[in-house]
C-alpha cells in the first residue's frame, strides 16, 4: 500500500502480485504494474531532473503485507551409514528412487537431534535475555528516569517501589517464559 500526499491528506493505492503479474489498484482503476518502477512509485524523496530542477516525490510505501507461503516437500539424500527412520515423520516419506526421499517441511524440526535442538533453543534464550532484559541502554533509561525525580519529591518511596516492582515483574516474566 502506498500513500500519495502529505501527512494531513492524500490518497492510497495498492500494488498486488497476482501470480507472476503485478497490478496497481487505484480506486476503481486497475492496471498492470512493472516492479522495475517500484523505487519511483514507492520510495518518496527528492527527484532531480537536472542540476536546476528538483521535485518532491510524495509517493511513499505505507504498509507492506505478506502472505505466508505453504512450504513444500524437501529432498533428503539418505546415506547408507545413517538410514532414515521413517517413523519420525508425521506426514510420511515419499521414496523417489535410489537414496532420495521427499519429506514434508513441517516434519523438518524432528530431523534435528534433541540434544542439538535443546542447545540451540537455550542459546537463543540466553541471547534474548542479554539483548533485552539486561540491555545496557534499558538500564541507563531506568537510571535516568530515577534521576529525573527531584530530591524534594514528596513520595520518593513510592517511586522506588514502582521501580523495584517493575524489575521484579520483568524477572518473574522471564522466569515464567523460561528465559532465566
Residue 79: pLDDT over 70: yes
Average confidence (pLDDT) over 38-50: 77
Q: What percent of the chain has pLDDT over 90?
A: 8
Which helix H or strand E contains 43, and what residues bound it?
strand 43-50
Residue 180 predicted with pLDDT over 80: no
Query: How do the domains of the chain map onto residue ranges?
Result: 2-61, 74-111, 115-176
Per the listing, cell 539418505 goes with 78
Q: pLDDT digit string (tens) for 94-145?
A: 778 887 877 776 666 666 778 887 888 888 877 777 676 667 777 787 778 7
More confident residue, 128 or 90: 128
User: What pTM, to 2 d.p., does this model score?
Assistant: 0.38
Task: Give the residue-averaged pLDDT of 37-49.
Answer: 78
Nearest to 11 by CA among 23, 22, 24, 26: 26
Q: Does residue 174 sit in helix, strand or coil?
A: helix
What is the average pLDDT value for the chain, to the nearest integer?
77
Amino acid at each position: 500500500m502506498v500513500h500519495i500526499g502529505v501527512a494531513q491528506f492524500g490518497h492510497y493505492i495498492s500494488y498486488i502480485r497476482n501470480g507472476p503479474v503485478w497490478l496497481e489498484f487505484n480506486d476503481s482503476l486497475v492496471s498492470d504494474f512493472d516492479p522495475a518502477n517500484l523505487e519511483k512509485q514507492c520510495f518518496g524523496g527528492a527527484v532531480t531532473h537536472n542540476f536546476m530542477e528538483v521535485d518532491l516525490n510524495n509517493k511513499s510505501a505505507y504498509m507492506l503485507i505478506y502472505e505466508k507461503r505453504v512450504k513444500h516437500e524437501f529432498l533428503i539424500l539418505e546415506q547408507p551409514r545413517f538410514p532414515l527412520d521413517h517413523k519420525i515423520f508425521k506426514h510420511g516419506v515419499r521414496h523417489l528412487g535410489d537414496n532420495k526421499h521427499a519429506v514434508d517441511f513441517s516434519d523438518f524440526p524432528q530431523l534435528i537431534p534433541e540434544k542439538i535442538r535443546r542447545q540451540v533453543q537455550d542459546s537463543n534464550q540466553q541471547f534474548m535475555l542479554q539483548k533485552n532484559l539486561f540491555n545496557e541502554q534499558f538500564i541507563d533509561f531506568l537510571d535516568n528516569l530515577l534521576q529525573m525525580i527531584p530530591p524534594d519529591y514528596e513520595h520518593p518511596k513510592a517511586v522506588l517501589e514502582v521501580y523495584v516492582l517493575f524489575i521484579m515483574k520483568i524477572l518473574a516474566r522471564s522466569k515464567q517464559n523460561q528465559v532465566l
